[in-house]
């Protein structure tokens, strides 16, 4: 069984930092053509350097606000102009907000539903249509003709009132993953999600620097007794992108070091 993504074309959103950047870099290292997509053009340019100017390069970037429908269409066009096709979509752009659920207005829920759910849904719809068009000449009845991977969170299944908006948007994303998996299955396009626990992203590093006790709190409620690296999530994403998972769709793959196996009552809200 092969986990190769050699020669495939992937679009990774949220690719300017954190888990999205780790996945995009990992895919390039494994031989894929990768479009790095994010709102932060300065960070994208810094990460990719001058590679975007090389017509033979296997990496390029697209900067824009993917919450806008036109920007999503432009991302697809830019990807096709550069690589001529798209085989993999990784919806890694996500946002977390904490607030007192008794005093917060509905802005947090609206913001995170738009960022974490609706943006991923629009991207999925637009890119899936392209994958379907590409598949018209395919004859192999078993090979996956596209893989869409959503980054979700274990917050979807845990009750942490201060993360109400994030939990609701994550749960909605999980259900969207399942629904789109069934809708796209006849086209042999697979849709799965990775439910993350704590990952040593830039935002978590900043939080730990400000509150050192966060590290021990996370480790204490994680059976494997550590925080995941972003590169570990990239390897899971490669598995879901490859034909090694070609009979998997609609699955929410939990990668949390065993954290959801424990009583959530005393779990930290990060």
Query: Could you tell me if residue 90 is inside a domain?
Result: yes
Query: Could you tell me if residue 137 is inside a domain?
Result: yes
Determine the pLDDT at residue 1.
58
Task: List the CATH number of the domain containing 111.
Answer: 3.40.50.720
Determine the pLDDT at residue 55.
63
Determine the pLDDT at residue 213.
86
Whole domain around residue 124: which residue ranges?
A: 9-257
Query: Could you tell me if residue 269 is inside a domain?
Result: no
Query: Could you tell me if residue 180 is inside a domain?
Result: yes
| 225, two tokens | 């007794």
Q: Please tell me the total count of domains within the chain.
A: 1
**First-last CA distance in the chain:** 36
Taking only the tens place, the pLDDT of each residue in 70-82 is 999 999 999 999 9
Determine the pLDDT at residue 104.
61
State pTM to two decimals: 0.92
Query: Could you tell me if residue 234 is inside a domain?
Result: yes
Query: Could you tell me if residue 169 is inside a domain?
Result: yes
Cα(145)–Cα(136) distance, rounded to whole angstroms? Answer: 10
Segments in the chain below pLDDT 70: 1, 50-56, 104-106, 137-141, 263-270
Determine the pLDDT at residue 228.
94
Determine the pLDDT at residue 109.
87
At residue 90, what are phi and psi to the nearest 5 degrees? -115, 110
- Classified as helix, coil or strand, 201 is coil
Cα(205)–Cα(197) distance, rounded to whole angstroms? Answer: 15
Query: Could you tell me if residue 265 is inside a domain?
Result: no
Query: Could you tell me if residue 143 is inside a domain?
Result: yes
Beta bridge mates, 252 = 193
């Amino acid at each position: 069984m092969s986990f190769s993504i050699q020669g495939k074309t992937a679009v990774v959103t949220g690719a300017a930092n954190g888990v999205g950047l780790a996945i995009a870099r990992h895919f390039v290292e494994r031989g894929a053509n990768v479009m790095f997509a994010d709102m932060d053009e300065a960070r994208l340019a810094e990460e990719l350097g001058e590679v975007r100017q090389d017509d033979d390069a296997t990496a390029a970037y697209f900067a824009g606000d993917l919450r806008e429908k036109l920007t999503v269409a432009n991302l697809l066009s830019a990807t096709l102009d550069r690589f001529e096709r798209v085989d993999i979509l990784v919806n890694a752009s996500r946002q977390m907000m904490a607030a007192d659920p008794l005093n917060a207005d509905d802005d947090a829920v609206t913001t995170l539903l738009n960022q974490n759910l609706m943006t991923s849904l629009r991207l999925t719809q637009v890119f899936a249509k392209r994958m379907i068009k590409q598949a018209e000449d395919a004859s192999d009845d078993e090979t996956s003709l596209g893989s869409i991977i959503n980054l979700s969170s274990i917050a979807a299944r845990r009750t942490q009132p201060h993360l109400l908006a994030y939990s609701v948007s994550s749960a909605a994303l999980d259900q969207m993953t399942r629904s789109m998996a069934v809708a796209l299955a006849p086209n042999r396009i697979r849709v799965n999600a990775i439910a993350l626990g704590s990952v040593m992203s830039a935002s978590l590093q900043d939080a730990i620097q400000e509150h050192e006790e966060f590290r021990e709190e996370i480790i204490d409620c994680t059976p494997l007794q550590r925080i995941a690296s972003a590169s570990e999530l990239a390897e899971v994403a490669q598995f879901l992108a490859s034909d090694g998972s070609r009979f998997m769709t609609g699955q929410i793959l939990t990668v949390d070091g065993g954290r959801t196996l424990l009583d959530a009552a005393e779990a930290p809200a990060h």
